Structure 1
Amino acid sequence: MMTFKKLLNDDAGFIVSAELVLISTIAVLGLVVGLSEVSLNINNELEDVGSAFAAMRQSYEVSCTSGHKASKSGTCFEDRCDFCDGQNDIH
């Protein structure tokens, strides 16, 4: 019981609350800056993924095919530029 009272009354390792406020403020500011950079980089990567999907060629072509008893004339599809692609924008 005597050791417990000594530990209870000992304040040699006590941290002043002003120090805690300063340390926590610096930590929060560092987290805000770090998370804003992470957010910016994630948005840039998602923009790159979207640009990659928009740049895919979506046209196909099947030339004339024929078998033993049937034939099919050819067909094709040409992908036009999407609105806001930036390729045909008029400035």
Structure 2
Amino acid sequence: MGSSSYSLSTVRPVRDWRTPTYATVDLYLYVIIDVNEKFQSFTTGVYLTVSWVNELLRWNPEDFCGITEISVPKASLWRPDFTVMER
């Protein structure tokens, strides 16, 4: 690879740097593990999903026997930074 190569995991996936990348974050509570009445707290189990548009990737199912969904290792792609804070 030449000097113009880049990693898809380090570059925000837009064709124009002025284009914002909007991410949708969903947090699903699926279990309450413990309730502590004394401290008025509880421990939960959650699922977190994040989705966004990657303008640099394209997939044409007709080129791949009609396959419409694939799995890509998350380390291979750019991911938005965010933090879930507990109080």
Fold match by TM threshold 0.5: no
Compare the two structures and name the one with the higher helix fraction: 1
Q: TM-score, normalised by structure 1?
A: 0.26
The structure with the largest strand share of the pair is 2
TM-score by length of structure 2 reads: 0.26
State the structure with bigger RCO (CA 8 A, min sep 6), 1 or 2. Answer: 2
